[in-house]
Structure 1
């Protein structure tokens, strides 16, 4: 009697797709990848140039310190007024309430996109603590869906948003690995036809083209240049578990406060009241936390990591709390932006605080696990959190520790409210 084949030897029930069925997706995926990257680079470059003017020559010409308390208030309130005018008057009102939108943005009508791009650029230049990821993904998804339906009407409409999201994530992080991980996480909850790799082929192509375009044009890097961790030992395991869990708990404080802060700003009812009021609060937080707690936070993280000994544990703690509060306010009052980059700053500051308090905590380990726990709480994206934390320190020895540290941190956040709201103001779970 023949024996049943072992499970590992049993043939897969999902057949692989023939090459001829995948080849037609290469060109559209490549076009979407390059286009999404150029859109991201273009918006970022214009915003950076405007930021240099607004926070450099302009206050100098007026005889004001560029990061003085006075100028911080002037710029944050002015940014709130400018973005409020865009949301109020520009067709499409710069898209839906950003508190209700995550990384998987819906496709919007083309008339909405100019206002959304303008509001995002003003926000990035003006200093609120949000990143470009959510609105840029929304713009690229909408453009890809609109153009794809007209230029290639026979292609399934559901393909274009996936390609655009993958391309933009690849462009943001400078590698297609992040895009592949995010898309595979999304596919895990959906019925699939064929093998996982067949389903990832087109998104991975788009992510790779987006990543290589960003790399060739702007040469991004996430490595903070911290000294690499050597062979880990028991104290490193303990430090990873404690730091990631502490960061997740701190992040959950903001998550639980999010619907209440959002509701407080919603009571103002008008963008010309909500956004300037948010600007006032953000200016007060910026004056308290200093210039490093302004803007999206990515370059500011580099300054923190360049010389961790320049700040005390108390200063790191203040910056972490202030930046998290600024992220909470900016995301609640109507500024268009994402939460990943400022959350990275919060996690890195918390990790460096742990190193300053307990020197035995390696700075690279503190930063990586702090970012991991914070991103798990704020984004609820496991792969993005792991990848971003690992990319910041470029230390292979930390990977196993990050995987271990993610377990208790995930238990602290899973099944609880997310930092994203429904239309009625209640949090997603």
Structure 2
């Protein structure tokens, strides 16, 4: 049976090679693999999103104080899944493997990642689905490359293309998703993996189309921002000033995360008990500050269309920062990009409540860009992503805000693998 399967795979590769032997165009046979991983990524992301939406809708009906035992149980169940099926690792592991293992992402723990992240996110964890899907689709790219016997940069590029496909499906931004997949890996310069740019872009376009067809999401902005009118050159300088607030919140987030890592550092406590304990803490925060629950996709829209006092905004920002930190350090699965955008928007609303005469959309976008660029060190893709997600038509001030957050970020990054030094986290 194995012999027949290998023979069929070899026959397929031979036919593809033969059919493209005469090729007067720029594209090569690899184009079809880039498009294929994009299609696979769109299918995986679309199916994941539909299941996640149904689970969230069901679990959101849990009333009041019951959210605490719900999240404790969710942490315990997700921890047992990871304990039994294998630990799929975090973003540090992905970056390490791309940099130091030739781009090979291990697909063996994908089932564990899918099941545990669905439980964590749907129950109300303050982390989003982008990181789990990046691991799943990126490792699927590795698997596909191995099936077609790709080596070296071709294999690495296909893995990165899978990562880009996952980012794009969730963000709805093919260019932003492509750049983010490259930029999140960087040590000093985003062009380090420039060979993967076109593969990532092709996969992102394919993934985007499939995801939209499956989920029936619209093509417009994800969040309806206040209209940005009368742009001027002064807005670039103001964006830098507003970005200082977002950057300061980014520093605060990194500080909280590092303290929470110490809280859950003990290896003597099994992961399922650590996650159950964290579930109690996150659930308690969600009970007292309901808007801090979940990863912020829908909650951000609610915050934008509502009016809150400065005191509540300060409370919400602190509660959300702590909830995200507890989520990502205790073993709960999920990413913190969308949650950081949520925190940035809350910080912007808080700043605007103190400076009511200033431009609200510019304050919001500047704080969102700065905090994400500060924490993830992705100023280029952050600019493009926010322009797509919010419909903010003038990206020049956003560029200034993103660069402010990037250049004022801590010298020691939150994602340790971005240092460019091989660590044991991949083992």
Normalising by the residue count of structure 1, what TM-score does the alignment of the two structures yield?
0.82
Relative to structure 2, which stretch is displaced further, 183-192 or 373-382? 183-192
Does structure 2 conserve the Cα–Cα contact (< 8 Å) formed by 1:129 and 1:323?
yes
* Structure 2 equivalent of residue 251 of structure 1: 250
* Structure 2 equivalent of residue 348 of structure 1: 345
Does structure 1 conserve the Cα–Cα contact (< 8 Å) formed by 2:370 and 2:403?
no
Supply the distance in 2 between the matched residues of 1:411 and 1:148 (Cα, whole angstroms): 36
* Structure 1 equivalent of residue 55 of structure 2: 50
Alpha carbons of structure 1 residues 189 and 201: separation in structure 2 relative to 1, 3 Å: closer
Alpha carbons of structure 1 residues 343 and 103: separation in structure 2 relative to 1, 3 Å: farther
Alpha carbons of structure 1 residues 357 and 103: separation in structure 2 relative to 1, 3 Å: farther
* Structure 1 equivalent of residue 370 of structure 2: 373
Does structure 2 conserve the Cα–Cα contact (< 8 Å) formed by 1:229 and 1:365?
yes
Relative to structure 2, which stretch is displaced further, 140-149 or 98-107? 98-107
Q: Deviations over 1:348-385 (max 9, x none)?
A: 11111122222223222122111111101221111232
* Structure 1 equivalent of residue 176 of structure 2: 178
1:111 deviates by 3.0
Does structure 2 conserve the Cα–Cα contact (< 8 Å) formed by 1:104 and 1:165?
no
Does structure 1 conserve the Cα–Cα contact (< 8 Å) formed by 2:68 and 2:280?
yes
Asked whether 1:407 is paired with 2:403, we answer yes
1:414 deviates by 5.4
Relative to structure 2, which stretch is displaced further, 382-391 or 45-54? 382-391
* Structure 2 equivalent of residue 80 of structure 1: 75
* Structure 2 equivalent of residue 210 of structure 1: 207
User: 1:217-232 counterparts in 2 under 5 A?
Assistant: 217-218=214-215, 219-220=217-218, 221-232=220-231
Asked whether 1:22 is paired with 2:19, we answer no
Asked whether 1:416 is paired with 2:412, we answer yes
Supply the distance in 2 between the matched residues of 1:123 and 1:38 (Cα, whole angstroms): 21
Q: Deviations over 1:151-199 (max 9, x none)?
A: x12563223202211211221221211133235646845667xxx6x75
1:86 deviates by 0.9
Alpha carbons of structure 1 residues 22 and 233: separation in structure 2 relative to 1, 3 Å: closer
Q: How many residues align?
A: 386
Does structure 1 conserve the Cα–Cα contact (< 8 Å) formed by 2:140 and 2:159?
no
Normalising by the residue count of structure 2, what TM-score does the alignment of the two structures yield?
0.83
Alpha carbons of structure 1 residues 99 and 22: separation in structure 2 relative to 1, 3 Å: closer
1:239 deviates by 4.2
1:144 deviates by 1.9
Unaligned runs of 5+ in 2: 1-22, 99-103
* Structure 1 equivalent of residue 278 of structure 2: 278
Supply the distance in 1 between the matched residues of 2:50 and 2:354 (Cα, whole angstroms): 38
Supply the distance in 2 between the matched residues of 1:191 and 1:288 (Cα, whole angstroms): 45
1:330 deviates by 0.5
* Structure 2 equivalent of residue 326 of structure 1: 323
Does structure 2 conserve the Cα–Cα contact (< 8 Å) formed by 1:297 and 1:345?
yes
Does structure 2 conserve the Cα–Cα contact (< 8 Å) formed by 1:354 and 1:361?
no
Alpha carbons of structure 1 residues 230 and 109: separation in structure 2 relative to 1, 3 Å: closer
Unaligned runs of 5+ in 1: 1-17, 60-65
Task: Specify which of 93, 117, 122 is matched with residue 120 of structure 1.
Answer: 117
* Structure 2 equivalent of residue 100 of structure 1: 92
User: 1:357-368 counterparts in 2 under 5 A?
Assistant: 357-368=354-365
* Structure 2 equivalent of residue 263 of structure 1: 262
